[in-house]
Amino acid sequence: MIKTYVLDTNVLIQTPDAIYRFKENDLVIPLMVLEELDGLKKAEGEKGVNARASIRELERLRQTGDLLAGVQLKDGGRLRIESNCVNVELPEELPDSKMDNRILRVCKALRDNGENVVLVTKDIVLRVKAAIINIPAEDFESEQVVQGEHQYTGRITCYAPEDQFKEFSKKGMGRDSLYQVDEEGNAFSPQLYENQFVVIKADQSQKKTQLGRIEGDKVVPLKYKKVKPYGVEPRSAGQYFLQEALMMPSDKAPLVIVKGMAGTAKTFYSLAVGLEKTLNDTDGEYRRILISRPNAQFDDDIGFLPGDEQDKIAPLLRPILDNLEQLIDSDEEERYKNELELRGKVDEVFDRGIIQAEALNFIRGRSIVKTYLIIDEAQNTTPNQIKGIITRAGRGTKIVLLGDPFQIDKPFLDERTNGLSYAAEHMKGSKYCCQITMQADEGERSDLAMDAVERL
């Protein structure tokens, strides 16, 4: 049965081409949504960019026909602007002064006219309001990935025959040698993806393990297992996998996606490898480390903060600076005895241009060459933003996306719709991408911090 989907403004702000995601169904954009788009077209950052993109697409469709009567979309559906419904009554507790309630009025009018109406909005409160007047409402699911516990982790544990296990470090093994065992004790071949990391157990001596990575039809040993980037040594299987992904050259793995809760050394290890590659690598693989850290309010409000660009983004780089202090001065006993000297060492790295920081908005439209690009807290990006970041990669650039999908600070995003999860699911199996999800027991913070993570 054909449905009539009514779109809220926030759907178009997050995904400007959302109008092409509803197949052969009818699509309605209330006139007040156009008013909101018009009000947002001059906004800074992602909101303004996507508002303008949505307006341009509607203008293109206007040139093909009458938007009030409806125009045909390329997927077989129809789109129309709804400007009527002004006399439709809502319950007294839903006043007309609220823009959301005016959208509900359109939904009610269409339903009363016999149409199979569904409201599509990222706003949970609006979906609750819709339920009050018996209007079906949905989140925009086109960019949703599977729930967090079912998302791709980039790692798997498998068994291998004893003889092949013994020769693995020298020869590797065929990926078809790996197997898992179900609850009834039956062996089966698991689904494996390119660049997936593997903990390999010998089937006759299960306490022995080796670490490998899927490459084509083989499982290969970790190449950088014995490396200590900038003096940092891995302490867990997850950190060995993380080190391997980060150390792989940009022509081999130009994209690395690292997920995990706070304290699992995501940022620390990424910076360590970046410093190793820029300061200690004689081949000069990267010209610099470029860091961006999106924030729920920062991207919209940067223009109102005092100072130049570096002054504006400095408060958000404090977690980066904390990690740099530990890397630049590895002596825990002496590190903080002279705060001025330590600060001078950190400032020197920035003054020399080895590390640069940039607002996420300013990365858009650039082609970034021979750069080690870290996007910290990437779970606060939208799918559209993350797509823009990845497509900015020029020759010799490595992009490192870091974040925890369960710690979202941005409105209308969750663990299934944020840019980090979106990129992880869609880049799964790419020969150009390595992924790893760090586990809770691989944390590097204090015993108190990790205990609190588990308890609170």
Q: Return averaged pLDDT per consecutive 10 residues of the chain, 456 residues in all.
A: 93 90 92 94 85 94 94 90 83 83 92 94 93 92 73 94 93 95 91 97 86 97 95 93 97 96 90 93 87 64 52 68 80 64 82 86 76 94 88 90 91 87 94 94 73 71
Q: Tell me: do 281 and 184 sit in the same domain.
A: no
Residue 227 maps to a domain? no
Q: In whole angstroms, what is the distance from residue 203 CA to residue 201 CA?
A: 6
Q: Tell me: do 49 and 182 sit in the same domain.
A: no
Q: Tell me: do 96 and 161 sit in the same domain.
A: no
Q: Tell me: do 134 and 152 sit in the same domain.
A: no
Q: Which residues contact 386 (CB under 8 A, 6 or more apart)?
A: 378, 401, 419, 420, 422, 423
Q: In whole angstroms, what is the distance from residue 402 CA to residue 66 CA?
A: 46
For the domain that residue 368 is a member of, what is the CATH number? 3.40.50.300
For the domain that residue 42 is a member of, what is the CATH number? 3.40.50.1010
pLDDT at 280: 87
List of E strands, 284-365: 288-292, 355-357
Burial category of 9 from C-beta neighbours within 10 Å (exposed 0-12, middle 13-18, buried 19 and up): buried
Q: In whole angstroms, what is the distance from residue 245 CA to residue 224 CA?
A: 9
Q: Tell me: do 103 and 181 sit in the same domain.
A: no
Residue 228 maps to a domain? no
| Structural element, H or E, at residue 390 | helix 383-390
pLDDT at 227: 94
Q: Tell me: do 62 and 28 sit in the same domain.
A: yes
Q: Which domain holds residue 14?
A: 4-138
Neighbouring-strand partners of residue 7: 120
Residue 226 maps to a domain? no
Residue 229 maps to a domain? no
pLDDT at 442: 81
Q: Tell me: do 241 and 385 sit in the same domain.
A: yes
Q: For the CA atoms of 71, 77, 80, 86, what is the dihedral angle to 10 degrees?
A: 150
Q: Tell me: do 194 and 311 sit in the same domain.
A: no
Neighbouring-strand partners of residue 188: 180
pLDDT at 266: 94
Length of the chain: 456
Neighbouring-strand partners of residue 12: none
Residue 382 maps to a domain? yes
**How does DSSP assign 430-452, residue by residue?**
-TTEEEEE--GGG--S-HHHHHH
Tell me the three state secondary structure of residue 305: coil
Identity of residue 449: A
Q: Tell me: do 256 and 398 sit in the same domain.
A: yes
Q: Tell me: do 165 and 261 sit in the same domain.
A: no
Query: Which structure tokens are listed for 202?
Result: 């010998």
| Bridging pattern class, strands 288-292 and 355-357 | parallel
pLDDT at 297: 46
Q: How many domains does the chain have?
A: 3
Q: Tell me: do 400 and 289 sit in the same domain.
A: yes
